Structures are given as C-alpha cells and as structure tokens.
C-alpha cells in the first residue's frame, strides 16, 4: 500500500523569473556576499582607471603649458636701459646707524601696516636710515641691504618730499653709493603724485618712496629671459626691509601696489618704458588714530 504523502513543491526562481539572491539568472549559484564583492570590485576598478586617465591628461596639459612658457621665454622682450637723470643739486644724508634700540625679533613682532601719519616732519637722519635699509651699501664690495639676483640691483628709489627737515619739497633720486639725494627739479612732485590718482596714504604722508625697476638691468645678467619674476621678488625684499626699519624707529609705513604705474611714472617724469613703478612706500610719524592691518 502506497501512502499518499504530500510532496513539497520546489519552486525554481530561475524558472519563474524571480530573484532569490542565491543564484544568477540562468541557474548559476551565487551568494549575496560574493555578488556584493564583485560589484564593489568593479566600481573600484572603474574609479582607479578614471583617476589614472585624469592624471594623464593633467600631465600632458602641464607639459604643453611648460613648452608654451619656454617658447615665450625664448622670445622675451628686450628692454632698454634708463637714461641718466639730470641732477640740479645734491643733499648729503647723515650716515646711517648700524645699531638700534629694537631687535629684529621685536620689529617683526610689532610690524604693522600704518596708513595715517602725524604732521611731525621727518628728519634727515630718519630719512637716511630708511633709504639705507632699502638700498644702502653694506660692505666694501658694494653689496646692498636687500639681496639681488646676481647683484643686478635693478631698483631705483625716487623720493617725494612733502614734509621733512633740512630739505626742500620736491622729487629726489637716492644714490646708495654716496648716501645722497639728487634733486630732480620737480618742486610740485607731491601735487603731481596726487593727480596720478594714488591712494590717500600716499597723498598725505610726509615722504613717499617711489620704487622703480629697470628690467634691462636684470636682463643684463639673465640674457634672453623674462626679468619680471626676479624683479618682483627683489621688490618684496626691499619692502620688508623698510617695514622693519620704520618699525624700529617707532614710525609708520605701508607698502602700496594700488595705483596706476604708468600714470605715476608719467606724472613724475619717469620713462615708463625703461622703468616700471613697482611700489609706493609712504612713511612718517605715527598719527594719533593710525589704522593697522596685517
């Protein structure tokens, strides 16, 4: 006698088209954990390949850009030397002091950009000290206070005097080899500087140093190369020297790049083709409500 025992019907997910998570469609068994691993592996592989492809494109672009820069340097503009200036008379400045009352560390700690100045005139000794810190001769070989690539020394310091003891208002050129100021015969230099649209701090400061760079002087020691990079680096060295010297004197200054260099050059009768005005550095005694900034 055969017992009619009910048989449990086994339903195939593959036959029904449903997914049980135990096998791939078609009947090939595959656990969920293995399926997840394969999915993650494929995603990771695609990501790695994408990153490699992007990096390769960046490297190719960098090589292309570098070649473009090299081509531009190969055909760098050739600059002319500035013409000699006509000096009407010379003002001898006091010898700079080589030891002050504030350490370099203290000057760095307290250095700030101060934009307001008092009506107290700048003395010749203070003027000499600041100009010497920027471009003064520091040894018998002619080395200067600020470093210059291959001793090119492309910078000139024009000085607009508005309120200083022992010297008439006007425009002067600093000669570091003799520590003197040569009068350029432009008595209304302060008014011309204002007309050039300089910032308020340069309009009212007792003294404004106008830093110009002769590209030809730098190009003379780096033939065929664009001189701008080394020029601007050197300008930063000079500006920081002035900051620290002015701070040690208990005075105020702020380096300024917010001006039209061609307008300033033309206003002060400086040839903008051979000399680029890079910095304006006004300085004087600290005003009672001097603003500060880092």
- What is the DSSP annotation of 36-105? HHHHHHHHHHHHHHHHHHHHHHHHHHHHHHHHHHHHHHHTPPPPPPPPPPP-S-EEEPPPPPS--SS-HH
Residue closest to 158 by CA, chosen among 273, 282, 284, 285: 282
Task: State pTM to two decimals.
Answer: 0.74
The residue to which tokens 């340097």 are assigned: 73
What is the predicted pLDDT for the residue at 66?
46
Residues of the chain where predicted confidence (pLDDT) is lower than 70: 1-33, 35, 57-76, 289-294
What is the predicted pLDDT for the residue at 90?
97
Cα R_g (the chain), whole angstroms = 35
The residue to which tokens 């003799």 are assigned: 178
The third-level CATH classification (topology) of the domain covering 90-293 is NADH Oxidase (3.40.109)
Question: Rounded distance, CA 60 to CA 248, Å?
Answer: 51
Question: Rounded distance, CA 253 to CA 242, Å?
Answer: 8
What is the predicted pLDDT for the residue at 16?
52
Beta bridge partners of 282: 208
Q: How many other C-beta atoms can be found within 10 angstroms of the C-beta atom of residue 15?
A: 8
What is the predicted pLDDT for the residue at 270?
98
Residue closest to 155 by CA, chosen among 171, 134, 139, 137: 134
What is the predicted pLDDT for the residue at 61?
58
Q: Is the dihedral of CA 182, 240, 247, 98 positive or negative?
A: negative
What is the predicted pLDDT for the residue at 169?
98
Question: Rounded distance, CA 206 to CA 203, Å?
Answer: 9
Burial 49-88 (b: 16+ CB within 10 A, else e): eeeeeeeeeeeeeeeeeeeeeeeeeeebeebeebeeeeee
Going by DSSP bridges, is the β-strand pair 180-183/292-293 parallel, antiparallel, or unpaired?
A: unpaired
């Amino acid at each position: 006698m055969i017992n009619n025992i009910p048989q449990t019907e086994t339903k195939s997910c593959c036959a029904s088209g449903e997914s049980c998570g135990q096998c791939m469609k078609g009947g090939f068994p595959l656990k969920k954990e293995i399926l997840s691993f394969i999915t993650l592996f494929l995603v990771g592989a695609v990501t790695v390949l994408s990153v490699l492809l992007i990096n390769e494109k960046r490297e190719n672009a960098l090589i292309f850009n570098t070649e473009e820069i090299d081509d531009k340097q190969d055909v760098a503009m050739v600059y002319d030397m500035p013409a000699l200036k006509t000096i009407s008379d010379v003002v001898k400045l006091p010898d700079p002091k080589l030891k002050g009352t504030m350490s370099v560390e203290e000057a760095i700690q307290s250095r700030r950009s101060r934009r307001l100045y008092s009506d107290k005139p700048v003395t010749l000794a203070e003027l000499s000290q600041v100009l010497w810190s920027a471009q003064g001769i520091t040894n018998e070989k002619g080395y200067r206070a600020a470093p210059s690539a291959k001793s090119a020394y492309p910078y000139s310091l024009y000085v607009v005097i508005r309120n200083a003891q022992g010297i008439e208002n006007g425009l002067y050129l600093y000669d570091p080899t003799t520590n003197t100021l040569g009068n350029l015969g432009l008595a209304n230099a302060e008014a011309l500087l204002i007309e050039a649209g300089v910032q308020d701090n340069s309009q009212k400061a007792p003294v404004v140093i106008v830093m110009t760079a002769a590209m030809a002087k730098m190009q003379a020691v780096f033939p065929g190369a664009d001189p701008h990079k080394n020029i601007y680096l050197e300008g930063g060295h000079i500006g920081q020297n002035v900051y620290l010297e002015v701070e040690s004197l208990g005075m105020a200054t702020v380096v300024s790049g917010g001006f039209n260099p061609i307008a300033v050059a033309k206003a002060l009768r400086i040839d903008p083709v051979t000399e680029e005005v890079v910095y304006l550095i006004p300085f004087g005694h600290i005003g009672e409500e001097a603003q500060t900034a880092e």
